Amino acid sequence: MASRVSLEVGDDGVGVIRIFNPPVNALALSVLVGIKEKYMEAMRRDDVKAIVLTGQSNAFSGGFDVRNFQEIHRTGDMSFLPEISVDLVCNTIEDAKKPSVVAISGQAIGGGLEISMGCHARIATPDAVLCLPELTVGIIPGYGGTQRLPRLVGLPKAIEMLLLSKPITAKEGKELGLIDAVVSSENLLRIARLWALDIADRCKPWMTSLRRTDKLCSVPEARKIIESVRQKMKVIAPNVPHHEACLDALEEGIVFGGHAGILKESRLIHNLIYTSTCKGLVHTFFAERAVSKVPNVTNIKLKPRPIRKAAVIGGGLMGSGIATALIQSDISVMLKEVSSDFLEKGMKAIAENLQGLFNKGSLTEDKMDKALSLLKGVLDYSEFGDVDMVIEAVVEDVQLKQSIFSEIEKVCSPHCILATNTSTIDLNIVGEKTSSQDRIVGAHFFSPAHLMPLLEIVRTEKTSAQVILDLMTVGRAINKIPVVVRNCTAFAVNRTFFPYTQGAQLLVSLGVDLYRIDRVLSEFGMPMGPFQLQDVTGYGVAVAINKMITSAFSGRSFESPLLDLMIADGRKGKANGKGYYMYEKGSKPKPDPSVQPIIQECIRLTNIMHGRKVNLSDQEILEMVLFPVVNEACRVLDEGVVVRASDLDIATVVGMSFPSYRGGIVFWADSVGPLYIYESLKKWEVEYGGFFKPSQYLEERASRDISLAQPAPPSTLDLDVLIASF
């Protein structure tokens, strides 16, 4: 294999060490070894006066190869995480007798930026992106990033960049002191060479980042800043250790010096890499990337067709959100409504969505104006002839949807994608009155559609691979994570999570305080408990979904009268400020004591315990809500609704906000243990009924000591059915 690092010495005495490991010059083990070897060669050579470190193509380095973390988790072999912080960055680069200047184009991410900070100057192109994203995979920078960054940009900015994994531009880096000069790509190497020679000739300062103190505040002030952030992180992220570890490393270096901080950083990262948090986040990282591979879609040499113009039918909450997502990604949209009043409301909602993004700094004024220029409102289908895709987003009415699809089939071109945003209706029923069922597909966005990152792409047995590929491409273009799923009741995510609310309602019928249930689930890491979630999403949605679920899964649903009792009492949740909680503008939701009589009536009507009381721990409450979710996830896997278990993991993380540091519902279940989950459900089935009955898939996995995520052996699969499904 050709060397991934080269050394070229020019007549000017500058040795250019170049990394070549496409596509992003990741710091694989061989690359790290190569960098050290070329540095040692440059040190030995008399014709090398100074060094420029750079990357081939349009990237300096995308950082350490994250696949090594997978190998460590799989094998327990820490040799996949080489100790280079002292040996390479400190001894070989920073303390060398010849100066180094790094020339950054494209990206300097993670370990790439850390090695850059070990150089004596940093020159970047305007498009350069600088970031230390290690905390997103549950660890901290391991090549001195926690020590050099605060010495270059100051402690407050370093904390922000580290804890939020916040990228900055070259321009901002120059303003902060992280970058010494921003130059055009054409001049990058020339300026870097001259800068390196100037340092060697003492015409420019020979700056060693680890020894700088001019950007650091006093020790008491630094400790005060760190302690303040530490207390905030205990509230924001109480279940994970890596934020605390990062702050510990920062404090160590400020109090005892940079080299002490380097050693502390190394010890901490070795502890963090084996934590469940790191394992969960690394799994989530790769799960997000795996969804782009769909058998018989992405591996059959199809090319995505361009989608430049779309139509959205229905300007309500979902339709306006979908239209917003499309136009802010440069896709023209025609919004179709049934009347001028509804159309005006839809157009206004889209404008408000864009304004909200602008107010948050997510959209510039120019981009907002451009997005609005791509939007047009219409009241009929007369201009649908040249659209590339139609997304129907009207109310969940079967006859209405069938009528719409019959009409648009007649007016749209034969290549136009015909998509529905339905969350409850079988796609075969939606398209049964058309002759274009190969073009019919589900584009199930989650509300609010312009903000939530998940896009479930629902395919029937007749949906063409080309349509799936096109919609996957659109999904990525509008910054969604597209997950391809099979057509079934409630699809993948909503189906998996229907027991979440039902399990909580069952516990209320057992006499468990609903606010305690919400607290337990929130402490686990869910953004809110099941009852507050129902308040926020609206009771109308809950009623519609309950009807669908109980009809489709009557043998394993728990039918509670609680929601009907709440509605009969005039409660609508957050919509009218009165649900399980009280909602007042500007205040956090507060438990509503007047709900108690409703709860007592619910307990009386369900009469599960026949007057007896239960005494459950917080752990039991958590398990009685989430283990039924795992159980349904097993059925989803068994039926082949998703391509792979990790697809369901990432879908639950980005669609239901299941904590990413727990890896998704299936990954978390495997960490708990299928046998334990099975035995718990079996016990509760005896005590409380069929809602807890373990699925056959779970029972088989538990009895054979096989993980839930492990694919079934080919001999047990009907390959013809699998191929037809995907």
Active site residues: 114, 134
List, in order, residues 6 or more apart from 230 with CB less than 8 Å away: 244, 247
Strand segments, DSSP code E, in 401-486 are 417-420, 440-445, 454-459, 481-486
**Length of the chain, in residues:** 726
Contact 25, 35 (CB under 8 A): no
Tell me the β-bridge partners of 370: none
- For 511, other C-beta atoms within 10 Å of its C-beta total 16
Contact 513, 543 (CB under 8 A): no
Helices 530-537/493-509 angle, 10° precision: 120
Contact 121, 195 (CB under 8 A): yes
Angstrom distances, CA of residue 117 to CA of 5, 60, 93, 216: 19, 13, 10, 16
* Nearest residue to 255 (alpha-carbon basis) of 224, 286, 279, 228: 224
Residues 112, 116: Cα–Cα separation, whole Å: 6
Residue type at 523?
E
List, in order, residues 6 or more apart from 630 with CB less than 8 Å away: 665, 666, 669, 677, 698, 708
Which strands, in side-by-side order, build the sheet including 309-313? 375-378, 332-336, 309-313, 389-392, 417-420, 440-445, 454-459, 481-486
Tell me the β-bridge partners of 107: 129
Buried b (16+ CB within 10 A) or exposed e, 230-240: eeebeeebeeb
Contact 630, 496 (CB under 8 A): no
Q: Any idea what DSSP says for residue 27?
A: B
